[in-house]
Amino acid sequence: MSELSHLDESGGVRMVDVGAKAVSRRRAVARATVTMDSATAARLGSLPKGDALVTAQLAGIMAAKRTAELIPLCHPLALSTVDVRLEVAVASVEIEASAETTAQTGVEMEALVAATVAALTVYDMAKAVDKGMTITAVRLVSKTKTVMA
């Protein structure tokens, strides 16, 4: 059997069977950074397309809820909560997304998708005024699992 959980014995892709796993409380946190000119960072709340921060927060939440539609082998999850926070610095925006569920599998992909889509939304909202933005450091920063009693 392959060490990669999404491959079967013949090397084909498969969705992992989590049916025998215990239900547990799961939480994951992901981050992404969007770098930009300092003038752009100062105007993120009032760009030609509108408030990039509010729009990105909503986009990240919506994206987390649709992760299984975007990533082919992810299990659809009933999310308990999704939180997306954006912190503006001098020449960047740091995005932190968390997702929680009570299920048989984790929520890392949901947190990563939320952070990534929030970053893409900031980029989309500001691209008319800043052609040099970059999205960097998309990463999972923590995941926890609490076994249910």
Please confirm, yes or no, whether 130 is among the known catalytic residues.
no
Asked if residue 10 belongs to a domain, the reply is: no
Q: By CB neighbour count within 10 A (0-12 exposed, 13-18 middle, 19+ buried), where does 140 fall?
A: middle
**Residue 125, in any domain of the structure:** yes
Q: Write down the pLDDT at residue 149.
A: 72
Kindly report the CATH number assigned to the domain that includes residue 123: 3.30.70.640
Average pLDDT (18-22) is 78
**Can you give the residue range of the structural domain that contains 50?**
24-142
Q: Which of 8, 17, 51, 124 is catalytic?
A: 124
In a domain, 149, yes or no: no
Q: What whole-number distance in Å separates Cα of residue 22 and Cα of residue 20?
A: 7
Query: Which of 11-15, 74-78, 117-121 bottoms out in mean pLDDT, i.e. has the lowest?
Result: 11-15
pLDDT in tens, 93-132: 999 999 999 998 989 999 999 999 999 999 999 999 999 9
Classify residue 52: in a domain, yes or no.
yes
Tell whether 110 is covered by a domain.
yes
pLDDT of residue 1: 40
pLDDT confidence of residue 148: 78
Answer whether 99's CB lies under 8 Å from 31's CB. Answer: no
Distance CA 51, CA 78 (A): 29
Q: How many domains does the chain have?
A: 1
What are the pLDDT digits (tens) for 35-58? Answer: 999 999 999 999 999 999 999 999
Specify the pTM: 0.91
Q: How many helices and strands, by DSSP H and E, does the chain display? A: 4, 4
